[in-house]
Amino acid sequence: MQLMLIALVAVLVRWCVSLCKYSGAGKRPMFGDYEAQRHWMEITYNLPVHEWYNQTERNDLQYWGLDYPPLTAYHSWLCGLIANKINPAWVALKTSRGFESPEHKLFMRYSVLVADILFFFPVVFLMFMKNEQTKYAMSKSLVLMLLSPGLILIDHGHFQYNCVSLGFLLLAVMLIGKGRELWGSVFFVLALNYKQMELFHAFPFFFYLLGLCFRKLDQNRVMRLMKIAITVITTFAVCWAPFLSNKDSALQVLHRLFPFSRGLYEDKVANVWCSLSVVVKLKDILNRDQLVLLCLTSTLLMCLPSSLNLLFKPSFLRFKYALINCSLVFFLFSFQVHEKSILIVTVIVNLFSVQLPFWNLWFTVISTFSMLPLLIKDGLLTAYIAITLLYILISRGITPVFVLPSNEYRLQRRLQKFTFYWSMFGVIALTTLSVFTTPPPKLPDLFPVLVSMYSCAHFLLFLIYFHMRQFQCQDTETTNTSHTTYTQLKKKQ
């Protein structure tokens, strides 16, 4: 009964947010992400597979050309098939561009809600129900994961299907924690083939599995590594099968997935390069290839400490911290980052909602705030304020957010309170300025830039903290997780 109530509350909050505006509503000629998703349903349903990613007479890539991996395309085709049965005008080739109606909005909103309930909800419930924790702790974890404001605002407000890829990701993490490395690899590849931004998590998966296989170098470990490699390659091959008929077709998909021509970052994103541009205009100093090399080198170097620590001391707890660290590094330093990509980091941080309540709450609030310019642009300001306040109140109500007031931790508790409240003061001040103040004519992007820089400074602090958590992990800590060691799994087999 309690679990059913949690699920119903989570659905209710999503439905309330879905009543708000969506990305690009009524804004011709390109509209927004809502139209992009609808258009992908149109082209995948009406055109043969070999045209989906190619410029043809019937597929203009300049108008929301498909630029996500094959699983997204298959999902769009399925939604297009259902839409055509309800109302063919919704996905009619070319004539349906910019289609907007109350009935169609309802269909689109339901498509996200159904995807959320099918792919995200069950994994979250399985992940926390199978952990060795009390029912009360499990309920707290479920509530804080399912009511994470950023994911709800982007999927059910702005309009996307992040719940599918993040559901695959969490299932992969859970299976890895259970010692099911092969199945974990399968579902991570599925997540990666739904959204290419899941590359943010690729290093921890690779180095953790490699570290497990070579903890003791013998033939069995080598064979297990080969099984994992074969599993990954096979899963990729199945996902990409329709595009592997010729080399040019596969290369065109890759070209669409990594559009380097778009520039260093997307809009005003809370990463290092956007913040640095206030002082140094890298775009004016370096050409595109040099910028790509700079981002690649920076990202690899910053991911190296966390990855090597995981390789030489593989444990499930370190693996989860490495997922946060590497994905946050990718968000801060990689090339062509979207502001919405912070959700990829947040969903892993939310796994620590009970163990690290203060840091989970702080990170979740800042990650949602970092998308403020996008949310204001979409007309989601009211929903943003409401759902963020709801999350803060619930988090403060069900978890001891600040360190308990004992003699040992009193100073730390005061420091946490002082830091958090001043951080929230900055959030409130910048939100107020962004909504009610007109920027100077010479600085039209002043407030989005300030939001980005303020959020980036927080993310750098979080990066340091979670690196410290990973490097300070004790081997005994892994016994409190659901991880089944390789040796235990070997005995079962």
CA 223 distance to own-chain centroid: 33
Average pLDDT over residues 358-379: 96
Return the closest-CA partner of residue 381 out of 368, 391, 393.
368
Give the list of residues 6+ apart from residue 184 with CB closer than 8 angstroms, or none: 172, 173, 174, 175, 176, 205
| Confidence band for 323, pLDDT divided at 50, 70 and 90 | very high
Residue 179 phi/psi, 5° resolution?
85, 10
For residue 133, name the pLDDT band (cuts at 50, 70, 90): low
Q: What is the pLDDT of residues 140-196, one digit of tens each?
A: 999 999 999 999 999 999 999 999 999 999 999 999 999 899 999 999 999 999 999
The first and second tokens of residue 466, run together, are 């979670």
Instruction: State mean pLDDT over 332-344.
Output: 93
Q: How far apart are CA 434 and CA 227, in angstroms?
A: 53
C-alpha Rg value of the chain to the nearest Å: 23
Q: Is the pLDDT of residue 358 over 50?
A: yes
Closest C-alpha to 143, from 434, 489, 396: 396
pLDDT of residue 154: 97
Going by C-alpha positions, the residue among 119, 211, 221 that lies closest to residue 170 is 119
Beta-bridged to residue 265, according to DSSP, are 337
Tens of pLDDT, residue by residue over 276-300, are 988 888 888 888 889 999 999 999 9
Distance of alpha carbon 332 from alpha carbon 365, whole angstroms:
17
Q: Delimit the domains of the chain by residue range.
A: 2-25+100-480
Confidence grade of residue 409 (pLDDT, cut at 50, 70, 90): confident
Please write down the HEC assignment for all residues of the chain: CHHHHHHHHHHHHHHHHHCCCCCCCCCCCCCCHHHHHHHHHHHHHHCCHHHCCCCCCCCCCCCCCCCCCHHHHHHHHHHHHHHHHHCHHHHCCCCCCCCCCHHHHHHHHHHHHHHHHHHHHHHHHHHHHCCCCCHHHHHHHHHHHHCCHHHHHHHHHHHCCHHHHHHHHHHHHHHHHCCCHHHHHHHHHHHHCCCHHHHHHHHHHHHHHHHHHCCCCCHHHHHHHHHHHHHHHHHHHHHHHHHCCCHHHHHHHHHHHCCHHHCCECCCCCCHHHHHCCCCCHHHHCCHHHHHHHHHHHHHHHHHHHHHHHHHCCCHHHHHHHHHHHHHHHHHHCCCECHHHHHHHHHHHHHHCCCCHHHHHHHHHHHHHCCHHHHHHCCCHHHHHHHHHHHHHHHHHHCCCCCCCCCCCHHHHHHHHHHHHHHHHHHHHHHHHHHHCCCCCCCCCHHHHHHHHHHHHHHHHHHHHHHHHHHCCCHHHHHHCCCCCHHHHHHHC
Per-residue model confidence (pLDDT) at position 219: 62
Give the residue-averaged pLDDT of 356-382. Answer: 96
pLDDT, residue 489, reads 37
304-310 long-range contacts, CB within 8 A, separation 24+: 305/467, 305/471, 306/203, 306/204, 306/467, 306/470, 307/203, 307/204, 307/206, 307/207, 308/207, 309/470, 309/471, 310/204, 310/207, 310/208, 310/211, 310/470
* Separation in Å, CA 249 to CA 159, 191, 339, 350: 29, 22, 30, 38
List the one residue out of 149, 127, 82 whose CA is nearest residue 385: 149
Instruction: Note whether 369 and 427 are within 8 A (CB).
Output: yes
Check pLDDT > 70 for residue 437.
yes
Residue 132 pLDDT class (50, 70, 90 cuts): low
**Sign, Cα dihedral of 197, 483, 150, 283:** negative
Mean pLDDT of 395-422: 83
Distance CA 392, CA 364 (A): 9
Looking at 16-25, 317-326, 398-407, 483-492, which range is the least confident one?
483-492
Q: Measuring CA to CA, which residue among 172, 178, 157, 230 is closest to residue 202?
A: 172
**Residue 476 clears pLDDT 90, i.e. is over it:** no
**What number is the average pLDDT over the span 433-437?**
95
Mean pLDDT of the chain: 90
Q: CB–CB of 41/79 below 8 Å?
A: yes
Query: Per-residue pLDDT for 403 more than 90?
Result: no
**Tens digits of residue pLDDT in 64-95:** 999 999 999 999 999 999 999 999 999 999 99
Mean per-residue pLDDT for 336-346?
93
Instruction: Specify the long-range contacts of residues 415-420, CB closer than 8 Å, at least 24 apart.
Output: 416/358, 420/358, 420/361, 420/362
Least confident segment among 54-63, 209-218, 226-235, 441-450: 209-218
Q: Given pLDDT bands bounded at 50, 70 and 90, which one contains residue 216?
A: low
Find the helix packing angle between 446-471 and 410-436, rounded to 10°: 160
Pair 336, 267: CB distance under 8 Å: no
pLDDT value at position 138? 86
User: What pLDDT band is residue 488 in, cutting at 50, 70 and 90?
Assistant: very low
Chain-centroid distance of CA 122 in Å reads: 18
Q: What is the mean pLDDT of residues 26-37?
A: 91
Cα separation, 440 vs 419, whole angstroms? 30
Lowest mean pLDDT across 215-229, 287-301, 310-324, 367-381: 215-229
pLDDT at 230: 96
Between CA 412 and CA 227 the distance in angstroms is: 47
